[in-house]
């Protein structure tokens, strides 16, 4: 039996791809805050996928990114076990006057640290 693998085989392609992105694959070793699994992200998107038929009626094509941004904030709050209502009530008051340079200070993660 031959131990040679054809250069265009699926195994070679998979290994080549893995080696090509190796630095990204091991990045978590230097950054323990990074998630190794995409399950949380996939599970948070599941309600969106299930409701896609209803979301067709949200309005214009430009509305989609706005809805996506809102859902992203809501899911971030849920993951952080932050009360969405409290977060939005606190953040929305000063949002109109907030500087883009300070946006990192009002993300759900930053807010959750200040309001445990």
Q: Note the pLDDT of residue 52.
A: 64
* H or E stretch covering 45: helix 39-50
Calpha distance 9→70 (Å, rounded):
43
Q: Note the pLDDT of residue 51.
A: 65
Q: Note the pLDDT of residue 57.
A: 63
Residue 5 lies in a domain: no
- Residue 52's domain comprises 10-114
Residue 56 lies in a domain: yes
Calpha distance 89→112 (Å, rounded):
13
- Confidence (pTM): 0.53
Q: Note the pLDDT of residue 54.
A: 63
> What does the pLDDT look like over 71-112, one tens digit per residue?
888 888 988 999 999 999 999 988 888 888 988 889 999 999
Q: DSSP 3-state assignment of 5?
A: coil
Indicate the number of domains in the chain. 1
Residue 90 lies in a domain: yes
Q: Note the pLDDT of residue 34.
A: 73
Q: Note the pLDDT of residue 58.
A: 67
Residue 4 lies in a domain: no
The answer, yes or no, to whether residue 29 has pLDDT greater than 60, is yes
């Amino acid at each position: 039996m031959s131990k040679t693998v054809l250069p265009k085989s699926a195994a070679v392609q998979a290994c080549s791809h893995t080696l090509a992105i190796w630095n990204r694959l091991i990045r978590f070793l230097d950054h323990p805050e990074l998630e190794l699994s995409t399950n949380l992200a996939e599970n948070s998107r599941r309600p969106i996928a299930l409701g896609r038929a209803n979301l067709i009626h949200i309005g214009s094509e430009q509305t989609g990114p706005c809805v996506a941004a809102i859902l992203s904030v809501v899911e971030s709050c849920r993951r952080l076990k932050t009360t969405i209502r409290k977060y939005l009530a606190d953040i929305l008051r000063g949002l109109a006057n907030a500087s883009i340079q300070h946006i990192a200070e009002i993300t759900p993660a930053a807010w959750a640290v200040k309001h445990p």
